[in-house]
Amino acid sequence: MSELRAEGLGFGYPGFPVGRAVDLSLRAGEILCLLGPNGCGKTTLFKTLLGLIPRQAGRVMLDDRDILSLHRRHIARMMAYVPQAHATVFPYAVGDMVLMGRTAHRGTFSRPTPEDRDRAGAALAQMGIDELSGRDYTRISGGQRQLVLIARALAQDAQLIVMDEPTASLDFGNQVLVLNQVRKLAAAGLGVVLSTHNPDHAFTYATRVHLLGDGVTQAAGRPVDVLTPDVLSRVYGAPITVERLPSGYHVCVPTGLSSDAETRPPAARPALAGD
Would you give per-residue pLDDT tens digits along the chain (275 residues)?
679 999 999 999 998 999 999 999 999 899 999 999 988 899 999 999 999 999 999 999 999 899 999 988 888 889 999 987 666 767 899 999 999 999 888 766 778 899 999 999 999 998 889 999 999 998 888 788 888 998 999 999 889 999 999 888 788 888 888 888 889 889 988 999 999 989 999 999 999 999 999 889 999 999 999 999 999 999 999 999 999 999 888 999 988 764 444 444 444 444 433 33
The CA-based angle 64-51-192, given to 5 degrees, is: 70
* pTM to 2 decimal places: 0.85
Q: What pLDDT is attached to residue 261?
A: 40
Cβ–Cβ < 8 Å for 234, 212: no
Domains of the chain with bracketed CATH: 3-223 (3.40.50.300)
Q: What pLDDT is attached to residue 112?
A: 87
Tens of pLDDT, residues 47-72: 999 999 999 999 999 998 999 999 88
Q: What pLDDT is attached to residue 170?
A: 81
The CA-based angle 195-197-201, given to 5 degrees, is: 75
The CA-based angle 68-25-98, given to 5 degrees, is: 70
Cβ–Cβ < 8 Å for 105, 77: yes
Ramachandran quadrant class, 245 (left: phi over 0; alpha: psi -120 to 50; beta: rest): beta
Q: What pLDDT is attached to residue 90?
A: 79
Q: What pLDDT is attached to residue 271?
A: 41
